[in-house]
Amino acid sequence: MRRLRDSRPGSAVSLPAVGTLVNEPAYAELVKLYGREQVVEAIRKQIAAEREGETGEGAREDAVAARLRALVAPRLQRVINATGVILHTNLGRAPLARAALDALAVAGGYSNLELDLETGKRGERAALVSDLLMALFGCDAAVVVNNNAAAVLLALTALAKGKEVIVSRGQLVEIGGSFRMPDVMRLSGARMVEVGTTNRTRASDYEQAITPRTAALLRVHTSNFRVTGFTESATLADLSAITRRHGLLLIDDLGSGAAEPVGDEPTVAESLAQSDVVTFSGDKLLGGPQAGIVLGRGEGGVEAVRKMSRHPLARAMRIDKLTLAALEATSRLRLTGHADDLPVERMLRAPVEDVRRRAAMWSVKLAERGVETRLVEGSSAVGGGSLPEHGVATILLAITGPASRLSNALRHGDPPVIARIEKDECCLDPRTVQKGEDETLIDAVERAARNIQR
Ligand SMILES: *Cc1c(COP(=O)(O)O)cnc(C)c1O
């Protein structure tokens, strides 16, 4: 049992007092529900709050009960994404397809995760999805880890530890959440050799930096920014020619991993045509669960993926069964021509006229309930560090009223609705609102508008 501290600064009440309080009949029910230790802790916090001048209304035991309820209330909640950002990092990136959600339920029970049902022998969990990925992307090897950050770290560790990896200074990116290429490189034990400048790196810069200790050339897709103006960078084909000439590996950290062309985002197929090893995220443009996908092409790629799979780090980074199930279902949808079942694809490709019709329908329904709105032209964003300059034309529904109060009220609603403030108006983008959420959203907007009038 945890020892209770009584010397804490600000702990105004001596322990015996709390220890006695908790025995009062008013707390008996709470003790039964939450256990004595939790109730003591809640009483202590409540008394400390009271000493800080927080004078609530009502009895102390009600405040204590509220604290305990808040402690166990579900934290992860469904929200309606009306921001228009398709891969919204704060909202969980790609929403899963129905088939992927169903697969989660299967994997949640007992499953043949590592059992070959044919032979009754131990199977390979990775094999459940690597064949599908190889077929989907037409490559020669595949391995999946926890996320793309792990995939890059594993690639550098397994393939280049103690050796040199050449990378352009224009690609030393930071991806949100402290993924910085130079840090990852240091962690892997590979020595990073920087070439070129922030805005210009030529193929010859790479070639001149090659030494007998060079293991690979690394290209990092500058996912979340673009350098414009006086720029130059070696193409993947240039890098491929160099690595072939010198018998080196070409590793491409693709980031988003577009399975289909979107804007100027490099596709997985384009990358595979030149690289030995390609890595990308499962929950960006692929539209699946969080995962790091590693594909290998040609002899070098196959050998590289084999080394990565057998590296001890791969075990530490392996994906769990729920992810595996969702990824398998996602890959199968794409492989069988059902990419349209993936919410990410649907949102990306929804014609602006469909979005307009939906916005107009919401507008009419809201008007009937006394909420005034207007349609404005705008732009949805791909997000997730993809295509920073590539907006998708959309139609926004701007709600008449004080923008920040409206968006706060929406966020505090049930379910929470995350809106976007644009030009001082609280806007809803139908593009990222999922099928079947329309009525819930309209109700939520009506409630929020009414709440701020009070
Ligand atoms: C997003 C991204 C990563 C990190 O991927 P996670 O799946 O979030 O770990 C790494 N590299 C690039 C280029 C990216 O765009």
| Centre of ligand 1 from the C-alpha of residue 44, in Å | 43
Q: Which residues are CB-neighbours of 441 under 8 A, at least 6 positions away?
A: 80, 82, 362, 417, 428, 433
Question: Residues 410, 71: contact at Cβ < 8 Å?
Answer: no
Tokens of 266: 């490099």
Give the model's pLDDT for residue 2: 41
Shortest-distance Cα residue to atom 8 of ligand 1: 148
Q: What is the pLDDT of residues 43-72, one digit of tens each?
A: 999 999 998 887 777 889 999 999 999 999
CATH of 80-88+345-453, picked from 3.30.930.10, 3.40.1160.10, 1.10.8.50, 3.90.1150.180, is 3.90.1150.180
Pairing between strand 420-422 and 425-428? antiparallel
CA–CA gap between residue 50 and residue 67 (Å, rounded)? 13
Q: Is the CB of 172 under 6 A from ligand 1?
A: no
Is residue 81 within 8 Å of residue 418, measured between CB atoms?
Answer: yes
Q: Is the CB of 385 under 6 A from ligand 1?
A: yes
255 pocket-lining for ligand 1 (C-beta < 6 Å) = yes
* Other C-beta atoms lying within 10 Å of the C-beta of residue 203: 17
Closest by CA to 161, choosing from 190, 191, 182, is 190
Query: Exposure pattern of 25-58 as b/e (b: 16+ CB <10 Å)?
Result: eebeebeeebeeebbbbbbbebbeeeeeeeeeee
Tell me the two tokens of residue 41: 């802790």
**How remote is the CA of residue 79 from the centroid of ligand 1, in Å?**
24
Question: Can you list the residues of the chain whose pLDDT is less than 50?
Answer: 1-13
Probe ligand 1: pick from 93, 174, 175, 252, max atoms within 8 Å of CB? Answer: 175
In 199-318, alpha helices (H): 203-209, 236-246, 268-274, 298-310, 312-316
pLDDT tens across 17-45, in order?
A: 888 899 999 999 999 999 999 999 999 99
- Write down the residue that tokens 């949102």 correspond to: 347
Say what angle helices 438-453 and 403-411 make with each other, to 10 degrees. Answer: 120
Which atom of ligand 1 is closest in space to residue 149's alpha carbon? Answer: 9
What is residue 5's predicted lDDT score, i.e. its pLDDT?
44
Q: What is the DSSP letter of 380?
A: E
Cis peptide before 16 (omega within 30 of 0): no
d(CA 280, CA 364) in angstroms, rounded, equals: 42
Burial class (CB in 10 A: 0-12, 13-18, 19+), 17: middle
Q: Which residue among 174, 219, 253, 278 has the greatest number of ligand 1 atoms within 8 angstroms of its CB, and so is best to mutate?
A: 253
Say what the pLDDT of residue 188 is.
97
**pTM across the whole model:** 0.91
Nearest residue CA, atom 7 of ligand 1?
Answer: 148
Quote the pLDDT of residue 127.
82
Structure tokens at 191: 């020595």
Contacts of residue 278, Cβ cutoff 8 Å, sequence gap at least 6: 139, 251, 252, 254, 257, 268, 271, 272, 294, 295, 296, 297
| Residue of 266, 289, 269 whose CA lies nearest to 387 | 266
Residue 370: Cβ within 10 Å count:
10
- Sequence ranges of the domains in the chain: 18-72, 80-88+345-453, 97-339
User: What are 279's two structure tokens?
Assistant: 């890595």
Fold (CATH) for 97-339 = Aspartate Aminotransferase; domain 2 (3.40.640)
Question: DSSP of 147-160, one letter per residue?
Answer: -HHHHHHHHHHHHH
- Exposure letters 322-336 (e unless 16+ CB within 10 A, then b): bbbbbbbbbbbbbee
- From 87, 179, 185, 327, give the residue whose CB has the most ligand 1 atoms within 8 Å, as the site to mutate: 179
